[in-house]
Chains A and B, each alone.
Chain A
Amino acid sequence: MSHTGTLGRILLIPLVLVLLSGPAYGDFQPQLWRGLLGVADLPAGYNAWKPTYEPYDASSSPACSAVLDELEFSKPRFRGVEYATAGFAKGKFGPWVLETLRRYPSVATADLDLDRVLGVLRNCSTFSHAYRGEKAAVITLKVTPVKMSGVGERSKALWITANTNDSWAYGEVLVLARTRGTVMVLSQLAFTPPDAKTAQAVVNRAAAKMGTVAGR
């Protein structure tokens, strides 16, 4: 018997086992990134963009800062949760759109995590990040819940402002929405706030696309 034949049999056994057992969450689920927004889903002028994370040196509320890092930059990523992210910018100075989809093992886990995040943000009405050394700055962040038309099975909209050194400030519409076991984190940031209609349209479109990959 040839060595090639033996190797083929050895490989065949795990392959058959994988096909019989199916994917990790019990049945086939579409790829998560297919549920992200694309350039065509946004108003004219947007292009793909990759945000860069600049770590701060100190925070007046580490818990709030950690949750915002987690939501906007997926830092850190949790084991057992699937992530997909996309970023768009309309020019060098925005507006920017950031989207992250998270697929949890179950609806209950997704809800539990959403409760945890909102529980922290509830206590984050005002806090600040300090950057030291070169380009020293203090950014003051304010988080306020706002009323938007609901999307998905559960959603919450927040208005976050970031004021840098009292020199310039930008606003962010942050929407957290869940459809089945998938959670969407959608940020719309700009120096000049978007009008409500446009912002809502982007949220609706993002939620609709999330629904196509949300699975069970």
Chain B
Amino acid sequence: MDMSKDLVAASATPLVLAILAEGDSYGYAIIKRVAELSGGHLQWTDGMLYPVLHRLERQGLVAAKWSAAENGRRRKYYRISKEGRVQLAAQRQQWRTVDGALRGIWMQACTV
């Protein structure tokens, strides 16, 4: 399925925030989780996740921390902040509204 670019971009923030709400994570794991959640339909270009994460960090919605990994290299972990949770709740409300409206009209189309 080919998703429209705008839709992918718009859903990036709530998805990332929701995944981080499950627990701290890092870029590669977030991408894996997105693929898993969408059954492989939501394919992000891997690199593009990072500018999104950095933007969220600047907005104070997530906090980042470098932690040492097994073999001397380090990995950057992201954690959702309090503002991030507030934002997630707001986004959730908005998506529910959109979802509800679309569902309503599509159900009607089915029954007519």
A binds B: no
